[in-house]
């Protein structure tokens, strides 16, 4: 698991963004202009090793999580004894369960993704993640620099992370659900959030929306 600071101004507060599967900093460099706070992203979930020392001096952490990051972030921050510093938490197109037949991505689909993973199927995943051809091309122009072996290792580890029980007494404040999400169905997302006290906003977006990510970081 990697943490990368995109902005460090020595502020007491941090915006911490947990990305989804298959990512690195490349597509998200532009988001560093969306906040005046220190800003870091977390990605590459191939282990739970996490350099939390970089975060312990912050008085407040504003958590933003996207896709599988929604499931992973509370578990990681709880293990690092940092969850108490979270003052606000926003989920984008993800669920606490992550991998689940009713409340996330069905396990059979997740395993099928692992079994069939290659350059072609990864490209298909990116196309499904994006709303249209223009957004797809925009994403491809800043495509993460990840190998297929790395992606497969991450898929396998996320499967193991999903088995770890969810953190008790933690709720996201806001969940944004994409009506056009083809990765985690809106139905499963809404079913998942219906079990919580989280406020839900539905948007006409696909799984990946840089505009929504920027909007959340600016708020």
- Check which CATH number belongs to the domain holding 57 and give it: 3.40.50.1820
Residue 47, pLDDT score: 83
**Domain ranges, residue 112:** 2-218
Q: What is the mean pLDDT of residues 201-213?
A: 97
Residue 48, pLDDT score: 78
> How far apart (Å, rounded) are the C-alpha atoms in residues 218 and 74?
22
Q: What is the mean pLDDT of residues 199-203?
A: 99
Res. 78 pLDDT band, cuts 50 70 90: very high
Contacts of residue 179, Cβ cutoff 8 Å, sequence gap at least 6: 186, 202, 203, 204, 205
pTM, two decimal places: 0.96
pLDDT tens digits for range 127-149: 999 999 999 999 999 999 999 99
Residue 130, pLDDT score: 97
Q: Contact 188/95 with Cβ under 8 angstroms?
A: yes
Number of structural domains found in the chain = 1
Q: What is the mean pLDDT of residues 88-96?
A: 99
Res. 95 pLDDT band, cuts 50 70 90: very high
Residue 51, pLDDT score: 83
Taking only Cα atoms into account, the Rg of the chain, rounded to an integer number of angstroms, comes to 16
pLDDT tens digits for range 144-157: 999 999 999 999 99
Residue 163, pLDDT score: 94
* pLDDT higher at 36 or 50: 36
pLDDT for 63 beyond 90: yes
Which residue, among 79, 93, 82, 69, has the nearest Cα to 162 in the 3D structure? Answer: 69
pLDDT for 52 beyond 90: no
3-state secondary structure 174-210: EEEEECCCCCCCHHHHHHHHCCCCCEEEEECCCCCCH
Number of H helices, E strands in the chain: 7, 9
> How far apart (Å, rounded) are the C-alpha atoms in residues 107 and 78?
25
């Amino acid at each position: 698991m990697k943490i990368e600071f995109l902005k460090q101004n020595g502020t007491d507060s941090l915006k911490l963004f947990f990305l989804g599967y298959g990512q690195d900093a490349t597509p998200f460099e532009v988001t560093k202009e969306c906040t005046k706070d220190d800003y870091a992203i977390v990605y590459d979930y191939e282990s739970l090793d996490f350099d939390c020392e970089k975060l312990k001096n912050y008085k407040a952490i504003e958590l933003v999580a996207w896709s599988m990051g929604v499931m992973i972030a509370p578990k990681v921050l709880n293990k690092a004894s940092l969850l108490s510093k979270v003052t606000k938490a926003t989920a984008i197109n993800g669920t606490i369960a992550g991998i689940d037949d009713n409340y996330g991505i069905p396990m059979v689909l997740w395993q099928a993704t692992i079994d069939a993973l290659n350059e072609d199927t990864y490209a298909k995943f990116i196309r499904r993640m994006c709303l249209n051809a223009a957004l797809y091309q925009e994403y491809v122009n800043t495509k993460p620099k990840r190998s297929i072996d790395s992606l497969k290792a991450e898929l396998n580890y996320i499967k193991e992370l999903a088995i770890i029980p969810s953190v008790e007494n933690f709720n996201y404040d806001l969940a944004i659900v994409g009506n056009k999400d083809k990765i985690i169905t809106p139905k499963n997302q809404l079913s998942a959030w219906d079990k919580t006290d989280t406020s839900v906003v539905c948007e006409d977006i696909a799984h990946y929306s840089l505009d929504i990510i920027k909007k959340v970081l600016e708020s």
